[in-house]
Amino acid sequence: MAQFLFLLFAIFTVLCAVGVVVNKNAVNASICLILCLVGVAGLFVQLDAYLLAFVLLLVYAGAVAALFLFIVMLLDVQGKESFGLRGFRTIAGFVAFSLLLAGIGSVALKGQIVSSPPVTVAGGAQLKLYAYQLFTTYLLPVQIIGFLLLISMLGVIVLSKKHEIAEDAK
């Protein structure tokens, strides 16, 4: 079952990454980027790296990619359709149907799959170690990244303003 989930998340992540590159419409590409990050977070969960998965979803998928999506919508960038909408609907319908079948199959097999005993992990100690390293060793890089994100956000706001060309008085 773990190998099936890995293949599912890996294929999902690769397809969404290809969607980011192939899409000429920036809004669709940013949605594919968010979905790609969700797939990577699923892979992190399989590796029992729950904190990394949560931070990835919170910071990148939740903040950076959503901010990118809103900036693209603010700039009103229009792109061309990369392929017909009919083909996209067919692919989306096939993916939705296969996910529905996988969900029905997992509900039907719920009592038949033997699960491993729960593993107890001292999560508080690990989080304390992450926090200590974040606020001591890696404080300067985190502040520099935050400052660069602030500068880029201000740059986008300045670029998004529509400048009116003042006509010279005749």
Q: What is the pTM of this model?
A: 0.52
Domain presence at residue 67 = yes
Domain presence at residue 97 = no
Q: Which residues contact 44 (CB under 8 A, 6 or more apart)?
A: 50, 52, 53, 56
Q: Quick one: average pLDDT of 64-80?
A: 67
CA–CA gap between residue 77 and residue 159 (Å, rounded): 13
Domain presence at residue 31 = yes
3-state helix, strand and coil shares in percent for the chain, rounded to the nearest 5: 75, 0, 25
Name the domain count of the chain.
2
76 & 137 share domain: no
Domain presence at residue 6 = yes
CA–CA gap between residue 49 and residue 62 (Å, rounded): 18
**Do 20 and 36 form a contact (C-beta atoms < 8 A)?**
yes
Residue 152's closest CA among 73, 71, 36? 71
Domain presence at residue 54 = yes
pLDDT in tens, 83-138: 556 677 778 778 877 877 787 777 677 655 555 555 555 555 677 787 788 788 88
Domain presence at residue 18 = yes
Residue 2 sits in a domain whose CATH number is 1.20.120.1200
| DSSP designation for 166 | P
Could you tell me the residue range of the domain that residue 130 belongs to?
120-163
For residues 10-44, b (16+ Cβ closer than 10 Å) or e, as one string? eebbeebbebbeebeebebbbbbbbbbbbbbbbbb
